[in-house]
Every structure is written in structure tokens, then in C-alpha cells.
A and B are shown apart, each in its own frame.
Chain A
Amino acid sequence: QKEVEQDPGPLSVPEGAIVSLNCTYSNSAFQYFMWYRQYSRKGPELLMYTYSSGNKEDGRFTAQVDKSSKYISLFIRDSQPSDSATYLCAMSENNFNKFYFGSGTKLNVKP
């Protein structure tokens, strides 16, 4: 069993839709949760960062963490074609940059 599970998609939505991306995990020691966006042939870039359970909002993006269910989500409101990319969740046990990544969900936002 992988430590972090993520639906690979692809997920195709019309412009303006609300997008929900999710990951589940098995390691209860994870405390730090990140979402990265990766465009084709590029390196990942950090979108959102959350410590422990709760919600965090940044513009059109909202990250949610439910540690009791070992489930994290990223919501994108008013999605744009420029949001088309692969979204990777990542998690860390401790306070150091050793991350466990999901396999990524490929998102396509159609104009």
C-alpha cells in the first residue's frame, strides 16, 4: 500500500467550475501537508501549505486537512485554463523537507 494515494485523473472541467482534488494517506505521523502544481516538463511549485488539521484559503484556492480521516483536499474556485496542470499532494512527518508525494492528478480546464 502506498503511503499517499491520489487519483491520477485526468480531470476535465469547463472554465469557471469548482475543482476538488483529494489525497488519502496511511501514516498518522504526517503533520505537514502541501499542494504543488506541476506544468508539463517543469518542476513542482508550491501552492498551499497547511500544518495539522483545518482549512487554509489563498485567493481561489482552499486547502483542507482532516487528520481523523487521513484525507486532504484542494479546492479551486472559478477555475481557469491556466490552472491546467498536474496537482501533487505532499506530506511530511516532521519539521524537515522530506516529503511523501502523491502520484498527481492531471487537471484540464477547458475554455
Chain B
Amino acid sequence: NAGVMQNPRHLVRRRGQEARLRCSPMKGHSHVYWYRQLPEEGLKFMVYLQKENIIDESGMPKERFSAEFPKEGPSILRIQQVVRGDSAAYFCASSLTGQTMNTEAFFGQGTRLTVV
């Protein structure tokens, strides 16, 4: 059973371009979370999605960032018109249910975005 798969592992974008990060959850998992890790900082919650629904996007910047988790295919985190401050590691996690008590959230290896 493969773990959470994120691709690409490394992504370089010029300022103003779009970045698209993909996350395939573990088999059978329908809950996906995105976190951002800035250098020397902890992970910061961005968004929690279930299939076709955004449950909690309280950590998402108001502009340029969007996320989706379609019925088929991976979850996508999209960053439009990237700026240098978007450079970070973006981690995706998935879980069987959304309840912390009953299930562990497994993290992928992250996508390291560099904006030049």
C-alpha cells in the first residue's frame, strides 16, 4: 500500500508563474490536508478537503491560492502568480476519516517550491 504521494518533489517557478502541486492520498483515504513549512518554521495548516468539498480553508491566503480534491484524481494545490515569499515546502496529509481520535494522518514527502 503506497503512502501519500506528492509530485513533483521539487518545483522551480519564476515570479508571476503558476505552481500546481499534486497529492494522491493513501488508498481508501478520502480526507486530505495541506500544510506549508517555511524555513526554520513549523508546519502551518492551510486547508482541509474531502472528496469534492472544502471543509476548512481558514489557513489559506485570501488571494492566489486555491485547492481542490475532485471525485477522481489527486488533490491539487494551485498558486497563481507566485512570489518569492511562496517559496516553501508544501506537505499533504491524508486520513481515513477526519477524526483525530480514530485515525492517523499520514504525510507525504512534500513538494519544495522555489520561486526565482
Q: Which of A's residues lie within 8 Å of B, judged by CB?
A: 4, 6, 8, 32, 36, 41-46, 49, 51, 88, 90, 92, 94-104
Identify which of B42, B58, B109 contacts A101 (C-beta below 8 A). B42
Cβ-defined partner of B48 (8 Å) among A4, A32, A41, A98 = A98
A46, B91: Cα distance in complex, Å? 14
**Min CB gap A3→B, angstroms:** 10
List A contacts of B33 (CB < 8 A). 97-98
Are the CB atoms of A43 and B100 closer together than 8 Å?
no
With A95-B99, A96-B98 in contact, is A103–B109 under 8 Å at CB?
A: no
CB of A98 within 8 A of CB of B42, answer no
A-B contact count, CB below 8 Å? 68
Residue of A nearest to B102 (CB): A95
Q: Are A100 and B109 in contact (CB under 8 A)?
A: no
Q: How far is it, in angstroms, between the C-alpha of A101 and the C-alpha of B44 when the chains are bound?
A: 7
Is B41 part of the contact surface with A, judged by Cβ < 8 Å? yes
**Contact: A98 with B45, CB < 8 Å?**
yes
Separation of A68 and B58 alpha carbons in the complex (Å): 28
Count the B residues whose beta carbon is within 8 Å of the partner chain — how many? 27
CA distance A103 to B40 in the complex (A): 7
* Interface presence of B25 (CB below 8 A): no
A85 to B31, CA, bound (A): 27
Specify which chain A residues have a CB less than 8 angstroms from the CB of B105 in the assembled complex. Answer: 46, 97, 99
Complex CA–CA separation, A44 to B109 (angstroms): 8
**What's the nearest-Cβ distance from chain B to residue A61, in Å?**
15
A44 to B91, CA, bound (A): 9
Q: Are B101 and A97 in contact, with the CB atoms below 8 A? A: no
**B56 located at the interface, meaning its Cβ lies under 8 Å from any Cβ of chain A in the complex:** yes
Chain A neighbourhood of B43, CB < 8 A = 44, 88, 90, 99, 101
- Name B107's contact: one of A32, A43, A51 (CB within 8 Å): A43
With an 8 A cutoff between CB atoms, is B95 at the interface? yes
Closest residue to A97 on the B side, CB-wise? B105
